[in-house]
Each structure stands twice: as structure tokens, then as C-alpha cells.
Structure 1
Amino acid sequence: MSILLEGGNRPTINQHGTYAIVAITKHGVELARNLSNSFQHADLYYMKKFEKGDEEARDIQLFEGSVRLLLPSLFQAYKGIILIISLGAVVRMIAPLLKDKKTDPGVVVIDDKGENVISVLSGHLGGANELTREVAAALGARPIITTASDVQKTIPVDLFGKRFGWVWDSAEKLTPVSASVVNEEKIAVVQESGEKEWWDYDRPLPENIQTYASIQEALKAKTAAALVITHRHLTEQEKPILANGVLYRPKVIVLGMGCNRGTSMQEIESVIQETLDELGFSIKSVKAISTIDLKKDEEGLLETAAKYGWEFVYYTPEQLNMIEMEHPSETVYKYTGAYGVSEPAARLCSGTQKLALVKKKSGNVTISVAVISHDGGKEHD
């Protein structure tokens, strides 16, 4: 989508996420594109002259004209706005838009080199201070917060894990769970998979927040709210944890895939969903499709990866043959030079030897499934 910014008319935007990322320079666009890979609930806007060609597939919105004319629409639509624009210019552009600290969105500014992330507006109520921390962590930058008293010094529920690419299963309980956290009620954190470095403050976890080894243990503790991080679907016995809980999906699933030439995206997508359902895994936790380099131009695989925003990784036959396989195939070797595709690709991409699914053939598709392990993680297969 391309937006023409002209005086007099408020431009129409397509809002999908909670946050907007905006860039107007060449270096800023690269920063913004990298940041948007981590912030799954953010919409990306940048100038059309920096078009890369993949904007439509990634739902990136391009604009022509002054960015100042875009900001009123963003102010009205988003909870937070991340601007890779000079601080002085931002201050001048947003000044006419300011209404009230209770309603103004959080505004964060990043310098063009990505070295500093500055909380500019609505640091407390608008969440800009926590957004600044998360953005800085994602970029490896320095967070700059100037409010005298910092925000709650606790877990920001709607930003939790965003720098790792975690996504919510549902936003339904974000508000009540956030209220429980802010009000220092008893909170359970249950993590079965995903990155463990989510608490990056130089102080202990607040006393009201406790980690539990399992959902059942957290249920027995009768906490006021819960944050659950897992790639798998919950059982009926576990679902009560979500009565006042948010379920986060870390990006930990790697799909090793092979297919016959010309296999449609629809068939590939159907096999993936069917396989994940059989395993009890969420498609929202898929990180990548991995395959052999012979398939690097396979349209069905590329279209599927693009649709879901997954990484697309491929390896040479020599790389795949270095990986131990349970089911090496002379037939596959005859046609590809590798003794297997889906199985070794899943192992190589995930860095794990134990697969949740070693290999399954369905129609024109062969699939293997791996779960990336993080130190101390408890993976379910």
C-alpha cells in the first residue's frame, strides 16, 4: 500500500498492530525493517523511495510526501509510535497533536545509527518508558528515560517478550492481567519454551511475581493472574490458568520441509497445520522453514514463509549430509545429492538433535518438526 501525503486530507492507513514504526532515511529504513521482525504487533511505515519490493507481502505501508502529515492518523490509531527521526523534528511535528497524557500515545525516538532509544512522550501512562526499554533491548541500543520516577519496575504485559518475537495467543486478557501486575497482586509466570533473558533489569524479580515449573503447580498456587509462555496447546485441565492469564507464543518451532516441484502453497500450508495440530503445537510459534538449496526458489515454500513472516533457510546437500539421520534415503540422494532433506534441515536449523517429528510424508510434502531449546527450557514433544 502506498500513501500519498498531501495537505488538507488525513491519509487512510491500514492498522493491524498496536504500535507503528516510522522511518524516513535509508539507514532508518534498515533499522525499522530489522525492528519489525521482532515486534510482531507493529506496523511499519517508510518512504516509497526506499522501496525494497517485498512491502506488499510484509504489509509494509509506503508513503510519499511529508511524514508530518502522516502523524495525525498514527496518533489516533496506535498505542505507541516509534520514530527513526531526529528528536528536534519529532518535537516540532507532534506538538500540535498533543492533548492529554491520559490519551496521547507513547512516542519513542531512535537515532539514525540505532545507538540511542529515547522516551519522548507518555512515558508512564502511555507506556513509552517500557517501550523504550524493549526497543533498546531488541536493537542492542542505549535506552534514555528522563522521568524522575521510573515506571512500575515490573513486567510490561503487552510488551512481554516482544524483542524476541513472542506473540500473544489472544489480547483478550491483556488489560486485566496488566492491572493485576501493576497492582502488585500475586502473579504466576510459567515458561515451557522460549528465551529466558526476559528479565533484564539489574534488580530481582518483584516479590509478587513467582515462577512455576508447570501450569498445574501455578493453578494450585491460586495466583491472581498468569503469564504462560509455551509453543503447545493447553489441555482442558490447564485452560483455567487463562481465566485471568495471557498466553505467549515464543518462536521456537522449525519446520524441515521437502516437496515435489510445483507443490502449491495451499497443500504445503494444509500439511503444516495438520501436522502441528497432531503434535499439539501452535502455528504462531513457528520460526522458520528449512530445506535444501535446490528448493530455494520453490514458490509454494516461499509463499508460505512470506504469508506467515517466517524465516526461509536452505542448506547445501553437503551440509545436510553432515547431520546424522534416522531415515537416510538412497532415492533422495539420487535426485538431490542429500540422503535426506526435511529431517537434517530441521536439525541443522534448530540446533537440536531430538525432533518432535522425525519425518512424515503427506501427498507431495515431507515434513519434520524441531523445537529450539533454550538453556533451562522444558520442551514438550
Structure 2
Amino acid sequence: MNIAILSVSKKGYDLSFKLKELLDNDSTIIKCDIYHKDVKNTFNLLFYEYDAIIAIMASGILIRSITHLLESKTTDPAILNIDDNGNFVISMLSGHLGGANKLTIKVADLLGATPVITTSTDVNKKLGIDVLAKDLYLSIDNTKEILHFNKSILEGKEVSFTVNSNGNYNYLFEYLNKNTLEMDVSIYFSSRINDGEIEAECDNHTIILRPRNIVFGIGCRRGKSCEKINEAIDVVLNDLKVHKSRINMLSSAEIKKDEQGILDLAEKLDIPVNFVELDKLSLFESKYIQKSDFVMSKFGIPGVCEPSALITAGFDSKLIYKKTAFDGVTVSVAISK
């Protein structure tokens, strides 16, 4: 997640730096920038550039500054509101698909503040269909149906999921098992469903959920074993709360194409691995990747795990886990649009 922190007062500005320092230590936070004053003009510049904006200011200033920018729950960034003293963190906009509710809890925990969340499904301890999609990195084909689904879920109506029996849906089954008290569900199997897709039906309304491609970029020192690389991946999966069956592909640079540990891991997980050509990596540009001077001087490329993951995930993909080192293994994660 790419985050902007915008403040108005001196106390808010000081709190911005404290929060940025804490967020920078989180591998799921790709970038965190600080802005101060000139609120309305700054919001105009930031609104479409960041996944989330944390506004340290009075709620009235925030609301009046963003009303003209609002478009849709599927495109608006997550907006959080924090008071100058850091006592309360409020999820103001895009609580589910934008991730504001979960970011609110994260930030409140970091600051020792009280999180404030007002979305109906959350306060009634129900699982919204958009929360399920966000948690499992699924796209929703008809977002206009979200309101009806969540209203029906609040009323206790059953949601049925239909999948293809040939697909690997372990991630879905595990997730639903952990949330059985929050959503009344049933699962069916049918060959009419495309492999990988999930058909959700509730109260005669239907939504198709499609997995977005998740690519794990891997870099490592020469000779790292399959077990050591796998251990690093397990840590990342735990941080992201992602099931192993959701990994679509591994990736690395072509200089690692004979790295036995990576090849063995791909075989063990039964996941393809893509070794990206050096020419593609050398031409790759992104303001979100961490460039390595050593790798650039030795191989002429900005890095291994982050750019290879982004290239493999495809055009307009984004990082959801920045390059993080684990005893000679670096891992990053990119997701397709």
C-alpha cells in the first residue's frame, strides 16, 4: 500500500513523522510520504496517486477538502482521519475495498490510539462480500451488487459459493472455515464454472469473483536451499495472511535460472517460475522499487525480486509486499490489476 500523510498543525506534522517511521518498518507498506498544509490543493494532487491518505486534522477540514473528488467505492483511496493528539483513528472512506478499516486498526495499534469504524457489516460482526474479495485478492465483476449482498448478509441470508471441482480452492475453504460465524455459507461444485473463478449467489443476486495473479519475486545468495527460500515465503504469506495455494507464479532474474533452490521450490509447490531477461529488467522503471547499487554495478539492473515480480505480474501490476531480506533471501510480492 502506498500512503500519504497530510497534516495541518505543528503537532500533526510531528505526529506524521512518528507514524511514517512506524509504517516504514512494515513490509506491506510500499511507500509513505509526508505532506503539510495547503490541504485542498494537496488533496487534489494526492487523491489519485496513493492507495491511502491519512489526514491528521479536524474532520470538517477533511470532508470539505475531498467531497468534490469522490467518485466510487471501487476507485476512491482509503481515507483515515486522526486528531492532532493521536487519540482516535477514524476510517472515513473506502473501508472495505480500499482497505481503510484494516489500515485504521493497524495505525491505531501503532499509535496506541482508539480505532473508529462505522461500516454496518463490521460493527455487526458480519463478513461483507467485498471484505472477502479484498482479503483473498479477488476482483468483483459487478461491484453494484455489493450493497445488496452485504444488506442480505446483515439480514442473515445464506451466501452460496460455486466452484469448479478441478480447481484448487484451499485458500477459499480455509478462509470460510475461519469466518463461519460471520457469514452463513454453502459450497457447491459445478463444471459450468470456469476453473479459478468463484460464483457467489445471495438472495437471487450473483457476483463472479476472479483471482488476481499473485507473483512472488525471489532473490537469493548463491546456493540457498529450497528449504531456506520456502521459510522466507512462509513468513511473507503469514504477514499477508495469504494461503499458499494463492501463489500463481514465482519470478526472478535470468541470472538465477540455474539456482537449484528456486527450481526445487517451484517443483515442490507445483508453481511455475519465470526468469526475467536482463534486458527487460535493465529497462524497467518504477518509483516504487528499492534500487540496489550493488546489483546495478554488477548486472546493470535495478534489482531482482521487485522488478521481476512486477514484470511477471503484468502491466499496471503493483507491489503488495516490498523487498524484504530473510538471511540471504529477498522476497517481494506483486499482484496483477
Category of TM-score, reference length = shorter chain: 0.3 to 0.5
The structure richer in helix per residue is: 2
**Structure with the greater relative contact order (CA < 8 A, sep ≥ 6): 1 or 2?**
2
Larger radius of gyration: 1
TM-score if structure 2 supplies the norm length? Answer: 0.46
